[in-house]
Amino acid sequence: ESTNVPANQALAVVSATGPQGHDITPSNFKFNPIVRPGFIGGIWSVAIGPGQRYPLNTDYLELDSWITSIMVLYWSDNKTMSPFDKNLNTIRRLSKDKVYMNVDLNAKISIPIEAVPFCKARFGSQEDLVNGYLQAEVTSWTMKFIEGHTAEEILTAQEVLGKDLHRHLTALLSKYNIEVREILFEKVDPEESYYKIVNAKTLADMGAKTAIAEKDLAVQQGLRNQQRGIAEALETIEVARGTVGARKLLIEAVKETLGEKAANALVIAQELVSGKHPGMPTALAITADKVADFLSTLPFITQSANEIKVALTEKLEEKTQATDQKKSDATDKTL
């Protein structure tokens, strides 16, 4: 009886009866025996392809059909492309950082017609090849990868995943002449809670950066205000420096912040400038805005000019407020 073989398929023939002998199984092939076509005791070394005609007695021969075109196999709960991948499911595993990862992938596999007898001898059937061998290898390899990496690493490594798994399967299947055409990780999804954690962390990081920026801005604003206060205070002293009250206020501020020696030095300098000692040089043009610079040059003063300016400004503001308060209290009593 002549057997018709459809396109893109081949028949593996298992012979139970016929002439004995002619075992041509390779020495390194440890599975079912391979025999010459027409002989008994194994799988014929040549598969029957489309267009070939053999008078085959199916009462004595087992015929097993194998697809020789490219098989697209999906590891997915929601997609199938082959008669053999219905039991291949989405791969789910905990990542290194304890996030459940859901992985959908597809593999493109082809079995040349000359490889069919050896695949039959090794795996039994094409369905066993897919649902037994490939299912176990692909799932195990992917799970180990997930377990060894964090969710973020897995999400950014889909292309690398495909290449690495392609090399792994090629090394396993090339000995049977099975071709691995392509491995594609179509979907790599962490559980929903992962995105909530990432969003919360992102918002927290943004908040921290905003807080730091606001703090820096506040510090800069404070420095500007402080510098403005120093300038305004010195300008006020400059305007009133000719008055006895202003000079007295300045002397008191210096005395309370830097000590009596500094205050005495400033008094002498002011007297020199005002001409009370005409025999002394008047090169020291001590004006109110240079008070701090002058004091910082005294050998017994350890503070810098800027530190003196800040201290004097604070003390002058304090004493001015106290003076204003006394005037206000006196006015209230008069009224």
Tell me the whole-structure pTM to 2 decimals.
0.55
Return the pLDDT at 81.
Answer: 82
177 plus 267 within the same structural domain? no
The alpha carbon dihedral of 298, 303, 307, 310 has a sign of negative
Decide if pLDDT at 73 tops 90.
yes
Decide if pLDDT at 139 tops 60.
yes
The answer to whether residue 177 sits within a structural domain is: yes
Higher local confidence (pLDDT), 260 or 203: 260
Return the pLDDT at 292.
Answer: 73
179 plus 83 within the same structural domain? yes
| Alpha helix segments (H runs only) across 82-191 | 116-123, 126-128, 135-147, 151-155, 158-173
87 plus 183 within the same structural domain? yes
151 plus 77 within the same structural domain? yes
Decide if pLDDT at 286 tops 50.
no
User: Could you tell me the pLDDT band of residue 277, with boundaries at 50, 70 and 90?
Assistant: very low
* Residue 211: φ, ψ to 5°: -60, -40
Among residues 147, 170, 192, the one where a domain terminates is: 192
Return the pLDDT at 332.
Answer: 62
The answer to whether residue 300 sits within a structural domain is: yes
User: Could you tell me the pLDDT band of residue 193, with boundaries at 50, 70 and 90?
Assistant: low
77 plus 137 within the same structural domain? yes
- Tokens 């489309």 belong to residue: 50
Mean pLDDT of 63-76: 93
Mean pLDDT of 190-205: 65
For the ranges 121-130, 200-209, 226-235, which has the lowest average pLDDT? Answer: 226-235
Q: In the chain, how many domains are there?
A: 2
The answer to whether residue 290 sits within a structural domain is: yes
152 plus 254 within the same structural domain? no
227 plus 320 within the same structural domain? yes
Say which CATH number the domain at 104 has.
3.30.479.30
Domain hosting 279: range is: 223-324
